[in-house]
Amino acid sequence: MGLWTKEQLRAFIKENKLVSAQDAQNALKDLFAETLQEMLEAEMDTHLGYSKHDIQNKQTKNSRNGKSKKNIVSEYGEQEISIPRDRNGEFEPLVVKKHQSNVTGIEDQIIALYAKGVSTREIQDHLQNLYGIDLSPTFISNVTNKIIPLIKEWQNRPLQSVYAVVFLDAIHFKVKQDGAIVNKAAYMVIGIDLEGCKDVLGMWIGENESSKFWLNVLNDLKNRGVQDILITCVDNLNGFTQAISACYPQTEIQKCIIHQIRNSTRFVSYKDIKKVTADLKPIYKAVNEEMALLELDRFEETWGTKYPLIVKSWRNNWDELATFFKYPAEIRKIIYTTNIIESYHRQLRKVTKGKSIFPTDDSLLKMLYLATMDVTRKWTGRVQNWGQMLLQLSVFFPDRIGHFLK
């Protein structure tokens, strides 16, 4: 049986003239505030050692000293309650602590909804429909702002000293800035450490890529303890090559083959796309660099006249596209595709697709951070066949990771 008997419940319904679900909600709202009030009074009795008018049992010089008004938010919306005070100012209520204005799991719900990409407007509607609570957009924004210090902490946490492979890639978003809508890129950095575990090392929001911007990102990694990166996998990022040679001169750069194929097919007419992609495949599937260059010549014979830009692009970027040919199949597979970063991006897009424009950089950062926490929580295992790959890497980079294997 609940707290009340059926008779008491019926009396409560009759007394409060409850005829609809909304009436019940309103009556419970009042009852909640009254119950809270009584709990505070009971706490004060315990604190002073005597109840309100029981002066005979008073054994303290301290006494009640009026009440102070306080607005609280609960499942029943916003309400005003009175917090009892004592003359000595020693009373520390537990049911509603000092400076606490929220007595509910609402905040957790707001953050959970926000993490799923639900808009502020929809969060408002959801809480209104579910609990009959009216929350302002400012309140919701203040709740989600509480994660900003967590983001700063996460973005500055110490990292491993050596990463075997680091992937850099960007997703583009529209963000409001000074009254205009600006295209911004969120740059994500994922690292695989020498244990074969992957992690998102950080995210940076920038308007345009330049070697100065990339130097800032790489110095950030350096300041957080990254002394060495064996291989970086990147799209065709502007200024990145100069920045990496300034910051990590020994790092090998592998330009992403998948992006290169995508960039190549941008110029191709619809009817040729299948053939062109099929003819590019032998280049990056070749057993070694020598064979790959022969396949590139063959591709030029077939398509060079019709699509000279494709051939030019592969030849211009060849040094950084062909890095992976040095390595055995297992390592090649990891570095020439960006599967790891692509699947992470898919998860982020799931969350951000409902938002066509972000009001601020912070709002974009909050959503990406929450989605990242969701994704990385599932990244518990090592990369497949990592033991084998580590042995191979130690042959290529004996001085740089030999100590790790001892």
User: What is the crossing angle of helices 361-376 and 137-145, to 10°?
Assistant: 60
Q: In 3D, which of 145, 152, 150, 123 has the Cα closest to residue 136?
A: 123
Q: Distance between CA 188 and CA 185 in Å, rounded?
A: 9
pLDDT at 217 over 70: yes
Q: In 3D, which of 341, 60, 13, 232 has the Cα closest to residue 4?
A: 13
Q: How many CA atoms lie within 13 Å of 111's alpha carbon, on the beta-carbon side?
A: 16
> Is this prediction's pTM over 0.75?
no
Amino acid identity, residue 337? T
Structure tokens at 350: 């799931």
Q: Distance between CA 35 and CA 3 in Å, rounded?
A: 13
pLDDT at residue number 132:
64
Contact between 258 and 338 (Cβ < 8 Å): yes
Structure tokens at 106: 């609402």
Query: Which position has the higher pLDDT, 228 or 89?
Result: 228
279-292 pLDDT tens trace: 988 898 888 889 99
**Concatenated DSSP letters of 198-260:** EEEEEEEEESS--HHHHHHHHHHHHHTT--EEEEEEE-S-TTHHHHHHHH-TT-EEEE-HHHH
Share of the chain above pLDDT 90, in %: 16
pLDDT at 202 over 90: yes
Share of the chain above pLDDT 70, in %: 90
pLDDT at residue number 1:
39
Output the CA angle 93-97-98, nearest 5 degrees: 100
pLDDT at residue number 304:
86
Residue 32 CA from chain centroid, whole number: 36
331-388 pLDDT tens trace: 888 887 667 777 888 888 888 877 778 888 888 888 899 889 988 888 888 888 898 8
pLDDT at residue number 106:
72
Amino acid identity, residue 273? I
